[in-house]
Structure 1
């Protein structure tokens, strides 16, 4: 790297650190101060936007920072990673290792309490990012650390191939390949096959739900699925997409880019591995916790999928975090309603895998 390049990179790191500090400082303000800065409460569809979330959205608007979807995809990946790091946190782990499972890169997180365990309760985590962004290193490292620590489970984070370089069904096939590989060699992976879960957010919620259906069809053991504001509708016609597709982080442009990149062939969009609302629900599907956000364009389709599971006889708990927006899973670096919500998810994951 040239001297000028090194200076620019150092300046960028300093700027990022300053932005992280500023965001944390905003979240630490008293509620009254946050309300004064955020403005009048935002009430839509009978829900009130969380004041910290409203303040963060206002700061984003005032700073005029464009969303990841406004850049070419390679640059957008960097932008989204930086956004994720603003409120991330490097929670301590007993061990972290990068390896492969079924030919797919994975990162394994082991909390201290499980270092000596021969058979660990395990979450196979599948990250979000519209099928085109995200990885095990930057966007969801903090999430996996938090869930491993708070739930007391081993987490295996899947680094599936991204679109548009690898369109549907590549991400689904990679996720299923990891799950099969881990179950196929429980001693190597030190997993308890009776205490396995799959989970993810947004696109990762889609892939997790599809994997859970495949596991039921194949007779693979699966104790629990954690679906966090999952994408379940390839056609995007819900009311919440219309209500919240502007001004609440996840935009129409992002969602359009995601489906066009992941499933460019329109004839494949009804495929039940991506359009989950059209999937047949087989017998034996694992119990699910489905979490949606009140101000998320994906809210209605996530809740519609939860209802489909219930109608098929699946044990489902549906929780709507009414004041939050898409992406709140990554807000773990400061006390806030989002981190509290993820803490509850971790508690329920722990309870499901430690019965």
Structure 2
């Protein structure tokens, strides 16, 4: 299926939010799947719409017939060196990224209602989960949530099994102390002061939307992902969990890998679990973005 791509921006609470729309060319059919709002990872402080975890995933899902909107949410400063940056960059901490994402979801809901699936990878998964919880608490409704190798807790749970541990440079960059430092940098303060929309793990998840959770096998963030799945199940939320055998963190950044193909196929199958939502061509073009 052919895909058209368009860069746009919308007005958010902290300024313009760049987005990129991936629209499947559906041959004139009005039966369209829910729109996926997708967030890249990068530890809250790096990443862009051009990295494979954003662009390749969006292209792959759009070729399967799912409209995708990727969000260039504002990034927090570089850990430890944030004080060297501009005041504006230092201020791009929580809740800025969540606010950027909610602005996109709210604008999109004007044209497609609740036919929206919010998702992301790694830090993007944390932002997506927090935004989904806040959107729900403010009276919004989503069709579902897609999460890939995410982490969701203020402090990262200890790795319980040797098989969880990453190898190579990630033994250090994804060690528990480094991940906790990343969380603190995102907040700009001690993690204990975080609310449930910054890190939803451990909070009240009652009524959380149906969720697909893809977990990397050898990943320092896996304990948080597994615990979040258990927390969702404990409150009766619908959760479909898949452990991607042999995978490492950020496997969606490698579009030529088998793990990438497996992940995208699982997402596509899960998105197709219900009958498509009916929308008109007028609805599809009514996102209301401005160049």
Normalising by structure 2, we get a TM-score of 0.79
The answer to whether the 8 A contact 2:38-2:69 is kept is: yes
The counterpart of 1:223, out of the listed 137, 143, 156, is 143
C-alpha deviation, 1:221, in angstroms: 2.3
Aligned position for 1:343: 265
Aligned 1:108-119 pairs, distance under 5 A: 108-113=21-26, 117=30
Q: 1:278 to 1:226 in 2, by over 3 A?
A: same
Alpha-carbon offset, residue 144 of structure 1: 1.0
CA distance in 1, matches of 2:226, 2:269: 21
Q: Over the residues paired in the alignment, what is the CA RMSD in angstroms?
A: 2.5
Distance 1:129 1:175 in 2: 16
SS at match of 1:324: strand
Gap regions ≥5 residues in structure 1: 1-91, 187-191
* 8 Å CA contact retained: 2:32, 2:276: no
| Cα shift at 1:264 | 2.4
Gaps of at least 5 residues in structure 2 are 78-88, 278-291
Structure with the larger strand share: 2
The residue aligned with 2:157 is 237
Map Cα deviations across residues 149-174 of structure 1 (whole Å, 9 max, x no partner).
13x11001011000012111111111
Moved over 3 A (4+): 114-120, 240-243, 267-270
Give 1 or 2: higher helix fraction. 1
- Determine whether 1:275 maps to 2:199: yes
Q: Secondary structure at the match of 1:277?
A: coil
**Distance (Å, rounded) in 2 between the aligned partners of 1:132 and 1:115:** 40
Partner of 2:85: none
Q: Quote how far apart the aligned CAs of 1:132 are.
A: 0.8
Matched, 1:333 2:256: yes
Partner in structure 2 of residue 311 of structure 1: 234
Residue number among 1, 7, 23 corresponding to 1:98 in the alignment:
7
Asked if the contact 2:37/2:118 (under 8 Å) is kept, the reply is yes
3-state SS of 1:261 partner: helix
When normalised by structure 1's length, the TM-score is 0.65
Residue 245 of structure 2 corresponds to 322
Q: Does 1:148 align with 2:57?
A: no
Give CA-to-partner distance per residue, 1:72-114, whole Å, 9 cap, x none.
Answer: xxxxxxxxxxxxxxxxxxxx74211011133311000011217
1:205 to 2:125 alignment:
yes
Bigger radius of gyration:
1
Query: Cα gap change, 1:118/1:342 in structure 2, threshold over 3 Å: closer, same or farther?
Result: closer
- Residue of structure 1 equivalent to 2:80: none
Structure 2 Cα separation of the partners of residues 110 and 241 of structure 1 = 42
